[in-house]
Structure 1
């Protein structure tokens, strides 16, 4: 993504935790292309070295192989850094249900380590990945930042605790923090493999292999799918905003449209069918609903527009076309 128009100074030194992951590596690349010095902290538990391979020879890029559960690694990573974009976490609702302890250690204890390290290093602003899972069982639609329900999974609890900690650090230590509640992010470099693969890359790979994708439930569940470049925009706007009313709060990061899983698979079959006509004829199979799944998710992005000037360029169709092209060219 070209972020020059967002007026991000190339003089800033930026730390991206989880920088070898899907979102983190895209952020690293965009920032490096803008001329920034970028430091990545990652333990490669879920991140991939190949996501960073093209950056390793760049003098403006530094990799620290470390763990946010280790406070010394966090202190080292935050040294002489202007802004932190904290992406490191163990995602996935099913993973947290299967192993709540590790999700808590990484997402809560690791988050606290990073807050303390950023405070001690006197970073200008701490921007962190929050989650739409925080809305829990709230029936409110669209989702508005100040109305949440009860969490439906250990993962959702950990991400809400992040927001509580950030708020306390803002009030107690005068830190500037911004939480970004991501809504079903997708796009290039998103891992299609593993037990906890996100739905879009998983479906893409199954369709490219001429396999029938399995939808959990009847396909009526819907999500506000958000293309990666919209997420990059929000992270950069969170850094560049000089509006003090815009900090020490949380924002939805989405496009503001809802797409059902049935509609999603239909679009994937259509766009992949342009490369391989057989794909457009593949049937869909249906399985049981997943525990902890929220039936519907739709974000209001009015707050982000008002305070950060957020103006997402990629709707689901535009984003899927780009994503499908990347998967076809890189993973087929």
Structure 2
């Protein structure tokens, strides 16, 4: 039994991680600035703002964690400048300073983002950055803050979640599942798109095992989080449709999707929501592959295959309604 503290415990991955450690019999504290999306987690929740160092320190010292997952961050892409993402930089510095005042702390897992590089870019190494958004830049700066820390009494590693999906998810992958269920997802005809995705049940298993792995395997290292084998988007969508009992998604010519996306751009320009824009279409069509062999070498086999992950997710979605 360990004392596990999770910042961002009300988020998607955080919610699943709280569940994982509670089922494991650990003593859990969840810190966030919003209430838990799983109301069963209310007894373990404390409201904390990353920009208020005194509040963080108070919560840390009261709980005295053995292990900390730092998942809390501003993650949307709506900010125009790095100043909009102070939670990811100043907030991170606050967390690190507070960690240094916990003599019993053993390890911290810091969550970064795959968007430290633009979609489709294959970095040469973990110091090869190529962000295109203010959010991505804030995460690059955050990684540098962590890597440039002076020596600590606790070990650490950085994780970059890929496209994670599963129970308790929201935008954008919840929208994808909804579109497939309703029969309104359209895939470009004859286009094979491979992407590094991850079922959240596997993701929290990976996180927990990174926390427990031997020092030489993880300390001061960076890992992408995701299922080891990439998914092909159209067969993935078909499996989701079959689990819902829906028809197979339509495949339509790419030029038609481009036309629809341009119409969506016009709607978006005037402040209206559009299901398809040129930006979203580009993301859909662009392969997104990450090398997870180093993570696989540390973690080994995962508990869920693709079909079982989809089944668990669809059951959760049906139960939520």
TM-score by length of 2: 0.80
Partner of 1:3: none
Per the TM alignment, residue 15 of structure 1 is displaced from its structure 2 partner at its CA by 0.8
1:166 aligned to 2:146? Answer: yes
Change in Cα spacing, 1:144 to 1:326, as seen in structure 2 (3 Å) is farther
Which consecutive unaligned segments of at least 5 residues does structure 1 have? 1-9, 192-196, 274-278
Per the TM alignment, residue 144 of structure 1 is displaced from its structure 2 partner at its CA by 7.0
1:141-220 equivalent positions in 2, closer than 5 A: 146=126, 148-169=128-149, 171-191=150-170, 197-199=171-173, 201-208=174-181, 210=182, 212-213=184-185
Change in Cα spacing, 1:222 to 1:77, as seen in structure 2 (3 Å) is farther
Per the TM alignment, residue 136 of structure 1 is displaced from its structure 2 partner at its CA by 2.9
Greater radius of gyration (CA): 2
Change in Cα spacing, 1:243 to 1:176, as seen in structure 2 (3 Å) is closer
Q: Within 1, Cα distance between the matches of 2:141 and 2:110?
A: 12
Q: After TM superposition, where is structure 1 displaced by more than 6 Å over at least 4 residues in a row?
A: 214-219
Partner of 1:124: 106
Q: Within 2, Cα distance between the matches of 1:74 and 1:310?
A: 34
Partner of 2:58: 76
1:21 aligned to 2:11? Answer: yes
Q: Pick from 289, 295, 311: which aligns with 1:304?
A: 295
Per the TM alignment, residue 282 of structure 1 is displaced from its structure 2 partner at its CA by 5.9
Of residues 124-133 and 316-325 in structure 1, the stretch that sits farther from structure 2 once superposed is 316-325
Which consecutive unaligned segments of at least 5 residues does structure 2 have? 262-276
Q: Within 2, Cα distance between the matches of 1:299 and 1:32?
A: 31
1:289 aligned to 2:261? Answer: no
Q: Within 2, Cα distance between the matches of 1:66 and 1:95?
A: 23
Q: Within 2, Cα distance between the matches of 1:216 and 1:39?
A: 45
Contact 1:178 1:249 in 2 (8 A): yes
Q: Give the RMSD, CA atoms, in angstroms.
A: 2.9
Per the TM alignment, residue 247 of structure 1 is displaced from its structure 2 partner at its CA by 0.8
